[in-house]
Amino acid sequence: MMTQEELTVPSLGPARYESPLKAKGRPFPDPNVRIRMQARVGSDELEGQDLTFEKAGPRERIYFDPATTTAAYVTCGGLAPGLNNTIRSGFYELYHNYGVRRVLGIRNGYRGLVLSEGLDPIELTPDFVDDINDMGGTVLGTSRGGRDAADIVDFLEEYEIDILFCIGGDGTQRGAHAIEQEVRARGGKRSIVGIPKTIDNDVAFVYTSFGYVTALEEAAQVLRAAHVEARCHPGGVGLVKLMGRDAGFIAAGAAVASQEANFVLVPEVRFALEGPGGLLEALEQRVVARDHAVVVVAEGAGQHLFASADASTDASGNKRYRDIGIFLRDRIRQHFAERGIEMTLKYFDPSYSIRSVPPNAYDRFLTDRMTRNAVHAAMSGKTDVMVGSWNQSTIWVPISVAVSQRVTMSPLSDGWRAVLSTTGQPNWPGAEEA
């Protein structure tokens, strides 16, 4: 059971300086106001309802002297809409509002934080970040996989970096925690702050991660295209594979947003493929009755259908999954051919294209709010902390707590019920959850 002590964000020490924001007339939140972890109450949900998070926001006194402080940004892992916006808003908060004049951009993810790689940081300036918010991707570059924390702290010491902002998903945040532990072991006073990034929307204590809504919009457009293709061919089937290794939020959300999907397959729900009540039978019935269908599958769904699992991992340590999209494409074609039923299948895999576009208005707003609160955390002396969003508030949560769990979509959730309602697909009764 989690304790309140575990939710206490570490601090580097007493705040020694008056915040420059005070002279600008900025309002400061009451530091004693906290955000409840558990918003719902009920006989089976009482546990943990008294646990609270620290509410994010600027503090009247800060730990670092802006005139002598160096901050750095690093973007890691896969792309997501909004990375450049995060860098830009964070730079402007540091540079214009706090008066920090030395802000660095680390090149190519954690690889750029190793001296032997020879990747000198980029000096961020107002001119450099001026229009990067309209670009997809990350101007700093990215890579997968971590590096030895000792090597990274050597780099921070060499370049006299006081604050490191780590923008990335679960693996990136684990790396940030390891860096902070190494800084602490050396007796250093450096702030390590995580900014969560994942279009899968599966980071704990982040209600909506930036880039997710943009990815939904892009994915919904693909579903609409798949629907058009399916309706324009005899027995047309549009099969769309979307990202979602362990969480089906993109597949489910895009299906509900587009209202075009007839079947949605996610990692959290084990579905039957063959036999009565299975996907193939239901799909056949749909095509025979309506002459078209759209199937959406998350990349991590249906792994139980493969005879053997892939035991390898990627550079970030994530287990590699077998390609469910290609598997279903071939099996659906085989099923209809064996029964002599006319069917034309169009296969779509927009996985990379939907995450490389610039963010929409909502994600621009979200990146700005989260990254400026990350700056407030760092300047006030917080460390080993990640910015989160919980119960309609921006919070600070210890990274160790954030990475202790992964978020998945419950088959009992409103989101999954919305999928069942909009698609009319079987709930595969008797099929155990994945």
DSSP assignments along 192-213, one per residue: EEEEE--TT--BTTBSS-TTHH
Please report the pLDDT score of residue 434 as a whole number. 42
> CATH code for 5-209+359-402?
3.40.50.450
Average pLDDT over residues 167-183: 96
CATH classification for the domain delimited by 214-355+412-423, as one of 3.90.800.10, 3.40.50.460, 3.60.15.10, 3.40.50.2020: 3.40.50.460
Same fold for the domain at 5-209+359-402 and the one at 214-355+412-423?
Answer: yes
User: CA torsion angle for 168, 409, 402, 62 (degrees, to 10)?
Assistant: 70
Q: Which of 142-151, 180-189, 218-227 has the lowest mean pLDDT?
A: 142-151
pLDDT in tens, 242-285: 999 999 999 999 999 999 999 999 999 999 999 988 999 999 99
Please report the pLDDT score of residue 49 as a whole number. 64
Which member of 162, 200, 363, 384 is catalytic? 200
Count CA atoms within 13 Å of residue 60 on its CB side: 7
pLDDT in tens, 213-236: 999 999 999 999 999 999 999 999
Catalytic residue at 202? Answer: no
**47 or 367, higher pLDDT:** 367
Q: Structural domain boundaries of the chain?
A: 5-209+359-402, 214-355+412-423
Please report the pLDDT score of residue 44 as a whole number. 55
Q: In the predicted model, is pLDDT for residue 59 greater than 80? A: yes
Please report the pLDDT score of residue 39 as a whole number. 76
Exposed (0-12), middle (13-18) or buried (19+): which is 282, by Cβ within 10 Å? buried
| Interatomic CA distance for residues 314 and 320, integer angstroms | 6
User: Rounded mean pLDDT of the chain?
Assistant: 93
Using only C-alpha atoms, what is the Rg of the chain?
24
Please report the pLDDT score of residue 320 as a whole number. 80
Q: In the predicted model, is pLDDT for residue 124 greater than 70? A: yes
**103 pLDDT tier (thresholds 50, 70, 90):** very high
Nearest one of 298, 392, 387 to 349, comparing CA atoms: 298
Please report the pLDDT score of residue 307 as a whole number. 84
**157 pLDDT tier (thresholds 50, 70, 90):** very high
Pairing of strands 52-55, 393-398: antiparallel
pLDDT in tens, 73-89: 999 999 999 999 999 99
Please report the pLDDT score of residue 431 as a whole number. 43
**316 pLDDT tier (thresholds 50, 70, 90):** low
Please report the pLDDT score of residue 351 as a whole number. 86
Measured CA distances, 261 to 214, 319, 351, 417 (Å): 19, 28, 17, 14
Question: Token digits for 412?
Answer: 């009992």
Q: What percent of the chain has pLDDT over 90?
A: 87
Q: In the predicted model, is pLDDT for residue 388 greater than 50? A: yes
